Amino acid sequence: MSRIELLSPAGDLERLKIAVLYGADAVYIGGKKFSLRSRASNFDLDTIQKGVEFANKHGAHVHVTVNMIPHEDDLEDLEDYLMELEKRGVHAIICASLSVLKAAKRVAPRLEVHVSTQHSTTNSKAVEFWKSQGADRVVLARECDLNEIKMISKKTPLPLEVFIHGGMCISYSGRCTLSNHMTNRDANRGGCAQSCRWKYRMLKEDQFIHDPDCLFSMSSKDMMAACYIQDLIDANVCSLKIEGRMKSLYYVATVIRAYRMLIDRCYEGRVDEAFMSMILDELSRSENRPTSIGFYEGLPKANDQLYGVNGAGVTQEYIASVLEYDEQSQIALIQVKNHFEMKIEVEVFGPKYTKKMVLNDCFDMDGNQIEVANKPMQLLRTKIPFKVEKYDMIRKIVDKTNRNVY
């Protein structure tokens, strides 16, 4: 039986590389066309090919979302696009429409076709239907609980993918028209304005029900299903998916690294309380919004929602990334990501290690000593007394009370 796949989002080539280096088995990206979030995507066909080459070199796959609900005028270039994806070595497409599935099977048969969560697949009969249409995998709806996932998996031979981490819709994914209604931006064609997360006042007819200053939102907490990884492996799920193509480099690195460690330990049968607590602590450092277990134990409760706050947990603890390192002089070239002062205790981490140190003096490219780093993207040189590599990161040590540990 093959090992479960860790599937990471990537919003651009840099994040794709980080995801692969930090432990993802596969990465899903959006192209410029036919994808939700297509407006934000940095992946044109040539960049997709570069991503495929990088991923393949490290033993990973690239999946491309072709998951908008196509209207008649969207169909024109679809077949050419699918053939291009196949030609450029993409492993799978993720689609939400039977017409896209059929087109892929017809013109690009080497592409695996995965049915998107946008299709709200919540039972084994629906999975059987997709299998009969030629699908290679189904991404179950986030609205399935753990028992349903187990039952569906038992009844169907088609590989199943489930979400384990990231943002949730307050509505059924793929069934919400709030954004369409309020902003004329179609959530199913990549335009969701996240209207559920706006701040609202509650009225009955023309009267405020609550204090008009008391605003609320309809957003849910982010999902964090680390405690269910062993169950999902035992249930023979084939892929564990992280949500968040718009998330930062730091988010991708910390979340993927934590789940990589957890999955590997599950296979070794060595997950004890102390290890799990370290993983949860690590995940709480990824600048999530507050988290809950989503639908894993059934319908989310009031405590799983964010009524009063919108709450991205931006702690600004990610202060720099390593661009280069000279082993002889131990001087690293780093790029500033967030404000920091000198001589603070920091953690330097890469895909397979974390080390603490006190940040040494930093110098700009003209050799001037820096008192405080407050220019994002500025390049600095500093001494790091152990070997680091490109894509390693430096973060502040932030008190737990400043993080979203829920």
Interface contacts to ligand SF4, rule CB under 6 A? 169-171, 176, 178-179, 187, 192, 194-196
Q: Which is nearer to ligand SF4, 36 or 237 (CB)?
A: 36
- Output the CA torsion sign for 164, 42, 311, 250: positive
What lies within 8 Å, CB to CB, of 211 at 6+ separation is none
Toward ligand SF4, which CB reaches closer, 29 or 168? 168
Residue 134 to residues 75, 95, 217: CA-CA distances in angstroms?
20, 12, 40
In the complex, least distance from residue 139 CB atom to ligand SF4, rounded to whole angstroms: 16
For the record, the structure tokens of 148 come out as 């349903």
At closest approach, how far in Å is the CB of 28 from ligand SF4? Answer: 18
Shortest spacing between CB 375 and ligand SF4, in angstroms: 34
d(CA 347, CA 200): 40
Give least dist CB 194 to ligand SF4, A: 5
Identity of the residue, 194 or 316, whose beta carbon is nearer to ligand SF4 in the bound complex: 194
Distance CA 346, CA 192 (A): 38
Q: Please enumerate in sequence order all residues whose Cβ is within 8 A of that of 376, keeping only pairs 6 or more positions apart, or say none.
A: 336, 337, 338
Phi and psi at 246, nearest 5°, equal: -95, 0
* CA separation for the pair 74, 93 (Å, rounded): 17
Q: Which is closer to ligand SF4, CB of 187 or CB of 373?
A: 187
- Residue 236 tokens read as 């023979």
Residue closer to ligand SF4 by CB (options 81, 295) is 295
Closest CA to 288 of 376, 202, 356, 226: 226
The DSSP line for 221-262 is: PEEE-GGGHHHHHHTT--EEEE--TT--HHHHHHHHHHHHHH
Rounded least distance, CB 172 to ligand SF4, Å = 8
For residues 161 and 363, give the distance between their C-alpha atoms in angstroms, rounded to a whole number: 47
Q: Which is nearer to ligand SF4, 189 or 390 (CB)?
A: 189
Q: Which is nearer to ligand SF4, 42 or 194 (CB)?
A: 194
**How many CA atoms does the CB half-sphere of 261 hold within 13 Å?**
21
C-beta of 218: minimal distance to ligand SF4 in Å? 7
Query: Could you tell me the smallest distance in angstroms from the CB atom of residue 302 to ligand SF4?
Result: 17
Q: Least distance in Å: CB of 175 to ligand SF4?
A: 8
Nearer to ligand SF4, 274 or 299 (CB): 299
Query: Which residue number, 135 or 187, has a Cβ lying nearer to ligand SF4?
Result: 187
Shortest CB 140 distance to ligand SF4, Å:
17
Q: How far apart are CA 196 and CA 203, in angstroms?
A: 17
Exposure of 207 by Cβ count < 10 A (0-12 exposed, 13-18 middle, 19+ buried)?
A: exposed
Reading the block at residue 231, the tokens are 């169950």
